[in-house]
Structure 1
Amino acid sequence: MSSKNLLVELFVEELPPKALKKLGESFAAALAASLKTAGLAPSTATVTAFASPRRLAAHVTDVLAVAADKPVVQKLMPVAVGIDAAGNATPALLKKLAALGADAAAVAGLRRESDGKADILFYDSLARGATLAEGLQKAVEAALAALPIPKVMTYQLGDGWDTVNFVRPAHALVALHGADVVPVSVLGLNAGRATQGHRFEAAVDPVVFADADSYAETLRRDGAVIASFAERRAEIARQLAAAAAIAGGRPIDDDALLDEVTALVERPNVLVGQFEAEFLAVPQECLILTMKANQKYFPLLDAAGKLTNKFLVVSNISPADASAVIGGNERVVRPRLADAKFFYDQDRKKTLESRVLGLAKVVYHNKLGTQGERVQRVCAIAQGIGLQLGGEALAVQAEQAALLAKADLLTDMVGEFPELQGIMGRYYALHDGLAADIADAIEDHYKPRFAGDSLPRGLVGTLVALADKLETLVGMFGIGQIPTGDRDPFALRRHALGVIRMLSEGNLNLPLNELLTASASVFAAVDGFKPAESALADFIYERLAGSLREQGYTAQEVDAVVSQRPQRLGDIPKRLAAVRAFSALPEAAALAAANKRVGNILKKVEDSVDAWVDTALLREPAEVALHAALVDVVPQADAAFVTGDYSESLQALAALRAPVDTFFDDVMVNADDPALRANRLGLLATLHAAMNQVADLSKLSA
């Protein structure tokens, strides 16, 4: 059966730019999937998505006009129920066949097959394949229903009576199978072969397509529209690079902005604008953000990454003389930059310290109080950590930075651009004459903000960032705000990963449980707060395990280390390396299995077992040999463990393989004599403790 390529386009009013890419991908994928399910397109069909500000389209190859008939097997009933003693069809069988569109003539052709208990009657038939008109109608409806639209519009159709719901009003529908129009309708529109091109620069109106394969080229030639989102994005990137090179700079790298601008234009034309150099006295983060967020411009940076007074505009029109377009954009951006300069100048008239008291009027959480109360808790945590790591001097610095860290929330600049919190605090701290490490800590205490983000650049910043995240985690867990499923409104998973990274990558000598307990103590005055250190520790170790697996460690390696709950997270990379090296030893598998066996034996003992051995009660040669091996090996392993040489500590255990194997072969642990039994359990407890200092080796057992 011959096939042709299919093109479907829905022409609409301007679609939400931040959602356009996903809308285009979803429309094409859902349309093709529905056609494949209906048997109208093969699984190997190539699907091409198109998405511009005013259209969603999909091109699908090798689409059939009529799907092939499908064999259908219908299980009817047991032969004993459907056929009577005389060999005739029973009323029940005839009724069932009638429901399937068959009559008594079909009885002779029924197939009999045993299901292991009885012979069953089956009715084999062919289901007529769907026509393209039928299948495409369902496919378009399914594709529109599956679009990831957060909000829909309700609008009235041209008849003045009917209304439909969609993301934006739709004005035309194209459906071409080869050169033939497929008669489908949706959103009050009947399919044709015509659409509209660029609002201002289309060569013809309407744009008419000869066939499905000429869609993109016809729209580009006659409609002045680059229909492919990917092609349009690549063209913008090319023009940005070319214009920047001529202007003597490089455009800021921002994939999200590039996607958004791609969704705003149908035929891009990059132009260079500029603003007064005096605005460069304002921190460049402010200027960059206002140009990106408000105007969708690409600021130009010099070779050193410093902002210049030039920017790139991605225009949707290409006039012969672009000066009016450039001038208009320059006039528009100037008041925005002036606002930023005004905010900056006004903010510097007050010190950060003078703003701290105002935080007492800002609600943080109805159960945890104000931002002012929160700042006091962060100060206390940071001061405690500072005392522990660096004494009084570091504690004073950490407390000062923590006190000022949230003050910029009350500035005009951060009020206008919340994304600049911390960044502006650093600038204002330097203006106030504060030390660089204090200013850096104010900016860095939000780090890491996302996966892969850098850590705070100094120890003071690390302490304040750690204190800030611990306060959030401990506080939220203490009032029962624990993430469930995908819901994590307070970003506690991100905060936990931040704590993990700072403790591990910074190799800070801060035991986790002590840190959580100390952090919980600052909430003593909060009504309704209930310490939840155990649940929070579980939460942090779960995040840690997931992070380690993402870094390439095996599940066995991660479980072996994390199940031991190491208190110093900075030790974990060394423990993992030691476990990996141990796993390569020929003795590893046998010792891991033995460790698992010992653990199971000790779990079955009702009373606790002390790791202590009475040498006078050692009777069997095998237990004497094991004890002697432990006396020799344990001090070596312990000494290496204390110095942090975890690989050496585990390597020392290899000498235990032979005596352990002999012990289990020759010694009855659960001896009838209670004293002997207790002594042998004590010997195993000693062995178990020695083998599980670095990691739970039983986790390595297959």
Structure 2
Amino acid sequence: SLGADASVVPQLKRVMEGKTETLFWDSTVKGTPLTDGLQKALEEAIGKLPIPKVMTYQLADGWSSVNFVRPVHALIALHGADIVPVNILGLQAGRETQGHRFEAKVNPIVLHNADSYAQQLATEGAVIAGFAERRAEIVRQLNVAATKENLTPVDDDALLDEVTALVEHPNVLVGKFAAEFLQVPQECLILTMKANQKYFPLLDAQGKLANKFLLVSNIRPTDPGLVIGGNERVVRSRLADAKFFFDQDRKKTLESRVPELDKVVYHNKLGTQGMRMHYVRAIAKMIGELLGGDELAKQAYEAATLAKADLLTDMVGEFPELQGIMGRYYAQHEGLSDDVAFAIEDHYKPRFAGDTLPRNPVGVCLALADKLETLVNMFKIGEVPTGDKDPFALRRHALGIIRILIEKDLSLELDKLVQRVIGITEDADIPEKWESRSPDFMLEQYHTLYQIRQELLIFFYERLAGSLRDQGYTAQEVDAVLSLNLQQLSDIPKRLAAVRAFAALPESVSLAAANKRVGNILKKTEGSISDTVDTGLLQEPAEQALYQTLTSLSSKTKEAFDSGDYTASLQILAALKSPVDTFFDHVMVNVEDESLRNNRLALLAQLHQIMNRVADLSKLAS
């Protein structure tokens, strides 16, 4: 990758970085003239721009044509006061550029030197050249205008960035629309104003939408009334469309739309949305039974039946971002319970990092069901994320499931949950059941489903490990807890906290090293190890002392562990340091006497079991 060949191998330097040996290669590269280097950098930068579709336009000579996102009119390349003679897109570098189309004082602007670029554009061209400076000015004006109205602009960094890129000399103005439009859900109005018009909707102190908005104009007319009036006329039409969609959608119930899902293709290998929701209903019902019995299962089934019906509404057809949200409004309009209505909205949550979780148990069941069905069926057809490609957002679905299980403190075991979901989708796939299939098919199917289950669990644990490290836990702490292959994920934060508290003890380093040593001894042992220790074979004082300490601590650590006090369970182990160190200093485990050897191995097995109940402490050893 560095352009080196076999001749440089003897020149490589070997350097230890911790426990890792790293190879370094030093090389000297001949300098490049500024013109050549800038020309190459410019061509590479233009070539790497993510332009999905270019346009073709003619140059000034009337014959040549260039492909780019939009016609480029000038190219400036200055080093100090000197022009750097580079060219791109049919243009030769110079020192002239254009200012604001209507408000520039000078046209063209002739730049004196590179350092005067921003200042000359501001004073002569009425243009704020720097993106960050222009963005800050827009934010300032938005806040000033909103404060005068006793309102707050909607916080949207993406919209702010987009508007900053659209204007050169921002001028924030206040517009209004008819209060009657506030009867439409505010999410619809906010989205249409932001997405279609690039306006900043205004909210009152309670977070309710006001019938005013802020627009960022690129001109500063003496009388802004015409600019405001024109924008108000446009937004009136947009909001009228939204109101029409809302009124029309409410003429049909969500339930009446459900059969139409059978006509919506979900995936060419998995069938329609209707078929998919057949699985989701069954999964949601199963999870509801596990978490809350028949009543929760019934509500989860009802919510799952209606969850995707709003995809067929005009409003969601126009604004896909409102899926779930509109389902909730339409469900409430029909008089359905809030538990079901909010579950319809919340089953997409969490939609991104830091998003809120479903707000009620019905939503939790439905969100888990929807994400689990997607993961299982996508894995079954081989649609597994690779590299940075994840078209079906399976990583996000897995992280969402992990967050729900942990943060909602659910008593669901991940492996059993995945197994049940696989079973539900498989039964639906094979309506004629297993009896009509050959034994060879059954065996092959069993192995395939087992493999899918294992791949999914690995996928979950990879996401979980990454998420925990992002939360500030060290790789050692995460490895110590996850190496136990825990299935009840809600336990993991408490175990991590216990491991961190244990690692702060002065005895932790010695005990972690001893635990690692014990594990290595037990791994090398052939045959089974007894569960009990024969006290009559404990000959050495050191092994007698270790056994006595283990016996006295065992019930205490188990009691703390069973009560969920993992921190106390680990802290009690500090008393083991002295007897463990003494044991290894004075006792030989692998002696020739088989009965003595097996008894000492049994003692170490008990030590290993007590020490690793909360986490694998050997992972903390350096």
- TM-score, scaled relative to structure 1: 0.78
1:171 counterpart SS class: coil
2:425 counterpart SS class: coil
Q: 1:483 Cα shift?
A: 1.5
Deviations 1:46-104 (A, max 9, x none): xxxxxxxxxxxxxxxxxxxxxxxxxxxxx9xxxxxxxxxxxxxxxxxxxxxxxxxxxxx
Aligned to 1:526: 429
Q: Is residue 2:287 matched to residue 1:385?
A: yes
Aligned to 1:359: 261
1:455 counterpart SS class: coil
What pairs up with 1:595-614 in 2 under 5 angstroms? Answer: 595-614=515-534
CA contact (8 A) 1:479 1:530 kept: no
1:471 counterpart SS class: helix
- Aligned match for 1:238, one of 119, 129, 140: 140
2:168 counterpart SS class: coil
Q: CA-atom RMSD, angstroms?
A: 2.2
Aligned to 2:214: 312
Change (3 A) 1:686 1:323: same
CA distance, structure 2, for counterparts of residue 308 and residue 501 of structure 1: 35
Q: Is residue 2:113 matched to residue 1:211?
A: yes
Change (3 A) 1:401 1:668: same
Greater Cα offset, 339-348 or 465-474: 465-474
Q: Which residue identity lines up with residue 530 of structure 1 in the other structure? A: L
Higher strand fraction (1 or 2): 1
- Aligned match for 1:647, one of 546, 549, 567: 567
- Aligned match for 1:618, one of 517, 535, 538: 538
CA distance, structure 2, for counterparts of residue 151 and residue 536 of structure 1: 37
Greater C-alpha radius of gyration? 1
Q: Which residue identity lines up with residue 255 of structure 2 in the other structure? A: E
CA contact (8 A) 1:184 1:190 kept: yes
Aligned to 1:405: 307
Q: 1:561 Cα shift?
A: 0.8
Deviations 1:645-681 (A, max 9, x none): 1112112222222322232233332232333333322
CA contact (8 A) 1:611 1:689 kept: no
Aligned to 2:321: 419
Change (3 A) 1:623 1:134: closer
What pairs up with 1:623-702 in 2 under 5 angstroms? Answer: 623-702=543-622
Q: Is residue 2:100 matched to residue 1:198?
A: yes
Change (3 A) 1:212 1:667: closer
Greater Cα offset, 343-352 or 366-375: 366-375
CA contact (8 A) 2:530 2:598 kept: no
CA distance, structure 1, for counterparts of residue 267 and residue 85 of structure 2: 57
Higher helix fraction (1 or 2): 2
Aligned to 1:536: 456
CA contact (8 A) 2:141 2:172 kept: yes
Q: 1:236 Cα shift?
A: 1.4
Q: Which residue identity lines up with residue 449 of structure 2 in the other structure? A: K
Aligned to 1:108: none
Deviations 1:112-131 (A, max 9, x none): xxxxxxxxxxxxxx999765
Aligned to 2:197: 295
Q: 1:140 Cα shift?
A: 3.5
Deviations 1:309-362 (A, max 9, x none): 111111122222222221211111122111111111111111112222221222
Q: 1:699 Cα shift?
A: 0.6
Aligned to 1:560: 480
Change (3 A) 1:398 1:128: closer
Q: 1:201 Cα shift?
A: 2.6
Deviations 1:414-451 (A, max 9, x none): 11111001100110110110111111111111111100
Deviations 1:609-631 (A, max 9, x none): 34333334434333333223222
Q: 1:132 Cα shift?
A: 4.7
Deviations 1:16-37 (A, max 9, x none): xxxxxxxxxxxxxxxxxxxxxx
2:354 counterpart SS class: coil
Change (3 A) 1:128 1:395: closer
CA contact (8 A) 1:578 1:646 kept: yes
1:508 counterpart SS class: coil
Where relative contact order (Cα < 8 A, 6+ residues apart) is larger, the structure is 1
1:509 counterpart SS class: coil
CA distance, structure 2, for counterparts of residue 604 and residue 140 of structure 1: 61
- Aligned match for 1:270, one of 167, 172, 176: 172
CA contact (8 A) 2:176 2:212 kept: yes
Q: 1:165 Cα shift?
A: 3.2
Q: Which residue identity lines up with residue 335 of structure 2 in the other structure? A: G
Q: Which residue identity lines up with residue 582 of structure 1 in the other structure? A: F
Greater Cα offset, 381-390 or 504-513: 381-390
2:582 counterpart SS class: helix
Aligned to 1:465: 367
CA contact (8 A) 2:530 2:599 kept: no
Deviations 1:513-545 (A, max 9, x none): 111111211111337873522221122122111
CA distance, structure 2, for counterparts of residue 325 and residue 389 of structure 1: 57
- Aligned match for 1:158, one of 38, 57, 60: 60
Structure 1: segments with no counterpart, 5+ residues: 1-74, 76-125
Aligned to 1:31: none
Aligned residues: 578
Q: Which residue identity lines up with residue 526 of structure 1 in the other structure? A: D
Change (3 A) 1:598 1:192: same
Q: 1:148 Cα shift?
A: 4.2
Aligned to 1:188: 90
CA contact (8 A) 1:272 1:310 kept: yes
Aligned to 2:494: 574
Q: Which residue identity lines up with residue 564 of structure 1 in the other structure? A: L
CA contact (8 A) 1:368 1:526 kept: no
CA distance, structure 1, for counterparts of residue 519 and residue 261 of structure 2: 54
CA distance, structure 2, for counterparts of residue 681 and residue 212 of structure 1: 77
Q: Which residue identity lines up with residue 496 of structure 2 in the other structure? A: L
Q: 1:176 Cα shift?
A: 3.4
Deviations 1:472-505 (A, max 9, x none): 2222223222212111111111111111111111
CA distance, structure 1, for counterparts of residue 530 and residue 290 of structure 2: 34
CA distance, structure 2, for counterparts of residue 131 and residue 476 of structure 1: 53
CA distance, structure 1, for counterparts of residue 119 and residue 513 of structure 2: 67
1:174 counterpart SS class: coil
Q: Is residue 2:341 matched to residue 1:439?
A: yes
Percentage of pairs with the same residue: 69
Aligned to 2:352: 450
- Aligned match for 1:261, one of 150, 163, 172: 163
2:370 counterpart SS class: helix
Q: Which residue identity lines up with residue 413 of structure 1 in the other structure? A: M
Change (3 A) 1:679 1:130: closer
Q: Which residue identity lines up with residue 77 of structure 2 in the other structure? A: A
Change (3 A) 1:645 1:196: same
CA contact (8 A) 1:247 1:272 kept: no
Q: Which residue identity lines up with residue 303 of structure 1 in the other structure? A: A
Q: Which residue identity lines up with residue 537 of structure 1 in the other structure? A: L
CA distance, structure 2, for counterparts of residue 485 and residue 609 of structure 1: 44
CA contact (8 A) 2:284 2:304 kept: yes
Change (3 A) 1:655 1:218: closer
Change (3 A) 1:129 1:600: closer
Q: Which residue identity lines up with residue 542 of structure 1 in the other structure? A: E
CA distance, structure 2, for counterparts of residue 502 and residue 251 of structure 1: 31
CA contact (8 A) 1:611 1:684 kept: no
